[in-house]
Structure 1
Amino acid sequence: MQLQQLASFVAVAETAHFTHAAERMRVAQPSLSKSIKALEMELGARLFSRARGNVALTPAGEALLPLARRMLADAETARREVAELAGLRRGRVRLGATPSLCAGLLADALARYHRDYPGIDLIVEEGGSRDLVGDLARGRLDLALIILPLHSSDPALVTEEILVESLVVASPAGAGTVGPRDSAGDVGSTAEGEGLAPVAGRGRRAFVRIEDLRGKPLVMFRRGYDLREATIAACRQAGFEPRFAVEGGEMDAVLRFVEAGLGVAVVPSMVLDGRPGLRGVPLAPPGLRRTVALAHRKDVEPTRAAQAFRATLLSYLSEAAEEGALPQGVGLAGLPME
């Protein structure tokens, strides 16, 4: 079994067409067909069925596909690792991160890494934690910043907790809302009844209860976002089903929809930096928090370039914490938050 044969097999599986696969591999179609036939003889099973011009995977082909993708990814990692032995002058880091981190802390950490290792290619994949975990398992990422906990069905990963961030309820900054309760229990004015009612807690810091979201229109993320699951779970634990005004968005779309007055959304506090059109109100203690972890596959040692990125990221976060430069509502894992 040769890597070229596996690459040809994956190309046919992904294109469902021998001619298109040959074009992708930049080989003649007869050569590609010969490579597939040799692989089938090696394995003792047909990998594709051809009926009326349609190419489809057989059960044997379906079983081989994820393994072939992983072997090809591991081979590429080996090539990169050997190239990096020259002192990290060459290499690549494929990093996955949630949208809130891409819009916040990650940019400065990447800038520092690029300054220290200008020859390393940086590839960033933005997505929800479940999507990133899948990409790690398939060998499409070297590292990923994901949200814990992992699900029981997730693949075996090595995770390192690095940050804890608070979730807040985002609403339009200029919308009419019920004001904080004063010491006598009187409530301030309200607009059209769609606003939330922040309540003054200790030190008169305003907060809202998860129960205050009952019946309120919510702007909800697409499936695959951990924020979607966290919000729905919190509402159900409080005894009600959330009402969606609109759903299916990415982070930027969700924030824009909230700005436009479609509803409110539960988001990480850090994403509200630089958005004067939005305000964030913390949830009542104990509130909602989530833990951010740096993850990689358990069966694959990270490349030297990936290890160098980890060191750069942790150094940057530690310095930012000491200088008080972390976004509001964000702290280092294992340390108390203000």
Structure 2
Amino acid sequence: MQFQQLAYFVAVAETRHFTQAAERMRVAQPSLSKQVRALEAELGAPLFSRARGNVTLTPAGEALLPLARRMLADAETARSEVGELAGLRRGRVRLGATPSLCAGLLADVLARFHRTYPGIELLVEEGGSRDLVRTLARGQLDLALIIMPLHSDDPALVTEEVLSENLVVASPSAGHTRRPYARIEELRRRPMVMFRRGYDLREATLAACRQAGFEPRFAVEGGEMDAVLRFVEAGLGVALVPSMVLDGRPGLTGTPLAPPGLRRTVAIAHRKDVEPTRAAQAFRATLLLFLTDAARDGDLPEGLDLITRTGTGTDTSTGT
């Protein structure tokens, strides 16, 4: 079994077309087909059904696809890590983060890291926690800043809790009388702007409302963070968001929920079965130092608190 064969297999699986896969891989179609057949012979099972020109995965192909993606991603990580050690390149960090963190303090962390390690390539993927966990498990990220806790069906990860943040009710500032807090029950009577599926904020909002005994009423749903905040500014409804995303948005007001309020925990995660690269370890150290310095100097965004670290991480192989 060769990595090239696995790459060809993944290309066909994703395009469901041999010619398009060959174009993606920049190889002649007969050569690609030959390598896929060789892989099938090596494994002793057909990977694709080719009936009437319709290419679909067989059960064997379905089983191989996630493994092949992970093997290819790990091979690329190995090349990057060895290249770094050999002095050929300095490495890379593939980081996933939630939209609230991307819009908040992450830019300052990346700037500090880039000043310290200017030769390391930074690749950032923004998304909801569930999406980032899946991407991390496929080997397409080195680290991810996600929201805890993990779900029972999430893959095995090592997580380290780093921040606790307040969720507030975001509403338009115009005509708003500032209040010390709001009760979750008040959202029963107000239209809400809701995030798309896959966002942890969507799940947190639904869970809080249902615990209070009602289903929220959506004025609009399906947006990303920037879109949701803009919709709230336009008066379409209110939204439950992290307090730090309201920095620099004078058109929005954040009202905390009545004590004990609603908080969530941010953790840095990596796969349990793969040790982070040296570049990724350097980023983790930079992030933790930045957060420690910001907490000491009082520079953390409003509603964020540093979690005192008592260990190196938590094995979440059981998803709990």
Q: TM-score of the superposition, structure 2-length normalised?
A: 0.94
Does the 8 Å contact 1:167/1:282 carry over to 2? Answer: yes
Q: CA offsets per residue over residues 56-114 of structure 1, 9 Å max, x none?
A: 11111111100100111111111111011146952111100000000001000001111
| Residues 88 and 117 in structure 1, CA contact (< 8 A), matched pair in contact too | no
Matches of residues 1-338 of structure 1 in structure 2 within 5 Å? 1-86=1-86, 89-177=89-177, 198=179, 206-334=180-308
Cα deviation 1:9-56 (Å, max 9, x = unaligned): 001111111111112112211111111111011110011111222111
> What CA distance in whole angstroms lies between the structure 2 residues aligned with 1:229 and 1:82?
40
SS for the counterpart of 1:168 is strand
TM-score normalised by structure 1 residue count: 0.89
Count of residue pairs the alignment pairs up: 309
Judged with a 3 Å threshold, the aligned counterparts in structure 2 of structure 1 residues 28 and 97 are, in CA distance, closer, same or farther, namely same
Shift of 1:6: 0.5
Partner-residue secondary structure (3-state), 1:52: helix
Deviations along 1:254-279, one digit per CA (max 9) or x if unpaired, are 00000000111110000000000001
C-alpha contact 1:220 1:265 (8 A) present in aligned 2 = yes
Segments of structure 2 that go 5 or more residues without pairing to the other structure are 310-320
Structure 1: state its 5+ residue gaps.
Answer: 180-197, 199-205
The answer (yes or no) to whether the contact 2:169–2:256 under 8 Å persists in 1 is yes
Q: Distance in 1 between matches of 2:11 and 2:111?
A: 35
Please tell me whether the aligned partners of residues 158 and 295 of structure 1 are also in contact (alpha carbons under 8 angstroms).
yes
Residue identity opposite 2:245 in structure 1:
V
Moved more, 150-159 or 118-127: 118-127
Identity over the aligned pairs, expressed in percent? 82
Asked whether the equivalents of residues 143 and 269 of structure 2 are also in contact (C-alpha less than 8 Å), the reply is yes
How many angstroms apart in 2 are the aligned matches of 1:113 and 1:313? 8
In structure 2, distance between residues paired with 1:176 and 1:331: 27
After TM superposition, the runs of 4+ consecutive aligned structure 1 residues lying more than 2 A away are 86-89
3-state SS in 2 of match to 1:254 = helix
Instruction: Determine helix, strand or coil for the equivalent of 1:267.
Output: strand
Rounded Cα–Cα distance in structure 1 between residues aligned with 2:120 and 2:40:
38
